Structure 1
């Protein structure tokens, strides 16, 4: 059948199983929005307050479900407003398809009104991008874009469509999406046997699991290998929630703000087993920090092997498949002395909890964890509150921690929480924010209220840009340049102005009743949780320092 480009686009999205799009209309995408109106019973369009909010919402939708998140914007500034969200998804390997309109083909390259070379701009932060110059290519391109976004190491793909392409006509035939096959081409018996030999011979193995575990859905395989070889395990920020928080071999997060146990064991192990992680500079950025260990790296992306850290053995392939095959070659191990060492470090790291009247991040997340019946999902902005959310909340199921890791995007969390809440209607989504981050994209409260999304925002309010202030305290002799906010914003009145509900917490005894009230309220809530601006994130490893040179609260 002959259809317009706009009709082909919407039908192709339906072929791919798309049920939700986050976006903002404009002149170059009017034909697309006209078709969305006609198909509004099949595809829900969420009008965000800003295009950046749309890209973060698509990202949050994808992280919460593992499906492709979709966002849509017009040409020029509409398209460029998506770029931060696209880059966020790229850095954390999140499947997303971003669709942008552009001026008509004859106006391209002429500095036309609201024209920008969005494919040129996004080339470094997409897995692939397209500009559609022939309507006959549109259906194929949409199909390819969704495949590329999901296959192998996931990531964002951009499709730029000039306005005349959305009006032109071509033949459309319904096509079943190409099945996503797990990458197994380079999983060889030789590589498996080499890795298995190193693991079987090790006496002090340590597992460092990254976001690849989440992307591959390799949760059960990870537990099986941990239990079989009796190895302590730490997760990167991107793998938080992928492994049971209460497992006796779990040592918490690894890296700059990782647990003391995780960081010390990394420096003491004789074998570091790295699964779906990329040796970020916020985790391990110097070979000398782990010079006593042999290193195994298993990852789906060959470009990551030996990129940041030289390894002794590696396997390239889908983590779920690799671990399934590897487990069969591994011997059951006890590692009694090593486990004893881990437990000693754990006991020494137990911190006395203060029951004074002062509000603390620990208290917040302890009470939040106690109320969680397994239905809570936490998104975060970026900063101290993000680290506290990673350190102190008890995540009970996978894909319940949604956060910008690689790019560290302030203003990410509220949009992401909207995307997650749209995807997980039976869950309760909390956005953990700092007062600085929240100020960047708080306009998305309008989106939450308009769509009656019961997102609960907790602002850990320290009247400062807390993480930057912490660095100024440690490394700049306390010169707090532009990090003390001293704003007069009343967050309770702000959310009420948008049409939501607001609470403020100054005392410990106020917190649980406020949380319960927030949970009972069927709509967006903002809780202003006020803490002291000198509260810091511990432990901490200084930038560039060895991973076992840990700054603890008692050291300061």
Structure 2
């Protein structure tokens, strides 16, 4: 066997069915091995290494398996860095294979020479160069073990081209795989004895307890456990942005999204008023706590954490209890010790109070959600999308870029189908991810409709991947929020008093024409009626990808539902009326 055959055999052994990548000079031996095993593993050619990384990221988010990406040396490796950094910081298991120049060329000025192992070291859990073909199986095993165990994340393997062409005596290597490490979580940990009992006692002592479900709950597929625990205890649940979809949004105990971007004022009030908050799978970072300024009453000594990563425990606040372990296993242990006849009736007034606030918010938001003015309001667009999604009756995998879709989708989107997932890459907030992510979502689960939401800034960065969608006949629904500038940045300029904004405007793309040029079916929507009609056609269109070019009001025209921005304008972010706020 040669090294490339060993690598592909190991990937297949670990259950890898898809590898995303871009061809180049150095990865030809890998492609020869993949072609020899065609039918056992599928290679998805992307048009850009960054896009391939976002495909792998979406695959890793929407499955319990790591996404795999490969790329050639030099620029290919450098283009791969943004999505790998995003995956690692977002706790998404991804493995990157950079196929590099042959080892004898090191330090001799060979074209595309780059110390990739060092380049990726700061943004991965593990980044190593393979210097012996016999080490390939061992290091591949370590890669899967590292990506999938503990806090999941990204792994990078720098593989010199000559490691793939070298002949290896099969008697000198073992191609065994570790079954535990084929999926996440590998080696999930249970809580230390006595800790869940302490949590229960703390809940019992509270008058206004609250559970906050973060992205770690989504990653651990522990939504059912959160729901079961909340119902058993009669304790309300809020989510972070990345935890959205943990529970059905219409459930009486599902209060809303906390934090800064796209927050629900009643959910933030729940944080402010509660006397005990249990965070599950959340780092309690700057977005959740609005730069550690919210809630105004400090969380010290009234907060507990459940997290797989001990490094985040009590990092920002003094915890009452810290429980390290896999969210699903810890919550199951918690459920076991809650007596069947547990009386949570004393929390009825607290739950009723929060639901009263929630009802007032949605009543106050109705004027925005039903506003038919032009240009189309983002709130109205979300309602159109929500209604079309529910009417379709089918689950979806929704991936949203940063920018216009984020605050409005987070605040107004309602997810009540547990099979539907909603993901936003929040670690670095880069643009250009949602369009290629639909490819990874489709490979993750073809039975759920892949949907990408993005602004025109993102569209310009990833437009070439529409060819990939057409080539693979992927039934993705792409929704372009089109207004001709980097709206978030322009809004930030205006928030700081710069009404003459600098270098943020560009020509609005002719989204429908561009999509049709690539072979997509496309529509343009300039009104709620247009959007309703286009969405109905899009959900009915299952033969290949389609795009809706939505001409929409910019985030730079009105202050979006962002706590810190509203605060800066002198408004009360916790006002339940959802009134319109101008910048100037």
TM-score bucket of the superposed structures, by smaller chain = over 0.9
Q: 2:561 aligns with which of 523, 534, 538?
A: 538
1:398 Cα deviation (Å)?
Answer: 5.0
Counterpart in the other structure of 2:68:
70
1:297 Cα deviation (Å)?
Answer: 0.7
Counterpart in the other structure of 1:87:
85
Instruction: Give the whole-Å Cα distance in 2 for the aligned partners of 1:207 and 1:415.
Output: 34
Instruction: Give the whole-Å Cα distance in 1 for the aligned partners of 2:427 and 2:497.
Output: 24
Counterpart in the other structure of 1:296:
304
1:109 aligns with 2:107: yes
Instruction: Give the whole-Å Cα distance in 2 for the aligned partners of 1:173 and 1:248.
Output: 54
Report if aligned partners of 1:260, 1:539 keep a CA contact under 8 Å in 2. Answer: no
Query: 1:27 is paired with a residue of what secondary structure?
Result: coil
1:550 Cα deviation (Å)?
Answer: 4.3
Instruction: Give the whole-Å Cα distance in 2 for the aligned partners of 1:458 and 1:267.
Output: 36
Query: 2:366 is paired with a residue of what secondary structure?
Result: coil
1:203 aligns with 2:207: yes
Q: 1:319 aligns with which of 312, 327, 331?
A: 327
1:553 aligns with 2:579: yes
Q: Write out aligned runs for 1:369-408 (5 A).
A: 369-372=386-389, 373-395=393-415, 396-398=417-419, 400-408=421-429
Q: 1:339 aligns with which of 351, 354, 357?
A: 351
Instruction: Give the whole-Å Cα distance in 2 for the aligned partners of 1:543 and 1:144.
Output: 47
TM-score (norm 1): 0.94
Q: 2:250 aligns with which of 239, 246, 249?
A: 246
Q: 1:286 aligns with which of 282, 288, 292?
A: 292
1:168 Cα deviation (Å)?
Answer: 0.9
1:348 Cα deviation (Å)?
Answer: 2.4
Counterpart in the other structure of 1:179:
180
Counterpart in the other structure of 1:352:
366
1:183 Cα deviation (Å)?
Answer: 5.3
1:235 Cα deviation (Å)?
Answer: 0.9
Label 1:555 to 1:23 Cα distance change in 2 as closer, same or farther (>3 A). Answer: closer
Report if aligned partners of 1:183, 1:317 keep a CA contact under 8 Å in 2. Answer: no
Q: 2:447 aligns with which of 419, 426, 437?
A: 426
Query: 2:27 is paired with a residue of what secondary structure?
Result: helix
Report if aligned partners of 2:88, 2:153 keep a CA contact under 8 Å in 1. Answer: yes
1:491 aligns with 2:511: yes
> 5+ residue gaps in structure 2?
none
Q: 1:445 aligns with which of 459, 466, 477?
A: 466
Counterpart in the other structure of 1:31:
29
Instruction: Give the whole-Å Cα distance in 1 for the aligned partners of 2:422 and 2:136.
Output: 35
1:502 Cα deviation (Å)?
Answer: 1.9
Instruction: Give the whole-Å Cα distance in 2 for the aligned partners of 1:466 and 1:550.
Output: 24
1:306 aligns with 2:320: no
TM-score (norm 2): 0.90
Counterpart in the other structure of 2:269:
264
Report if aligned partners of 1:210, 1:239 keep a CA contact under 8 Å in 2. Answer: yes
Query: 2:260 is paired with a residue of what secondary structure?
Result: coil
1:396-452 Cα deviation digits (max 9, x unpaired): 225611221111121111111111012221222111111111111111111111111
Instruction: Give the whole-Å Cα distance in 2 for the aligned partners of 1:419 and 1:399.
Output: 15
Counterpart in the other structure of 2:381:
364
Counterpart in the other structure of 1:273:
278
Q: Write out aligned runs for 1:95-134 (5 A).
A: 95-134=93-132
Instruction: Give the whole-Å Cα distance in 1 for the aligned partners of 2:108 and 2:320.
Output: 53
Label 1:186 to 1:111 Cα distance change in 2 as closer, same or farther (>3 A). Answer: farther
Report if aligned partners of 2:19, 2:41 keep a CA contact under 8 Å in 1. Answer: yes
Query: 1:189 is paired with a residue of what secondary structure?
Result: coil
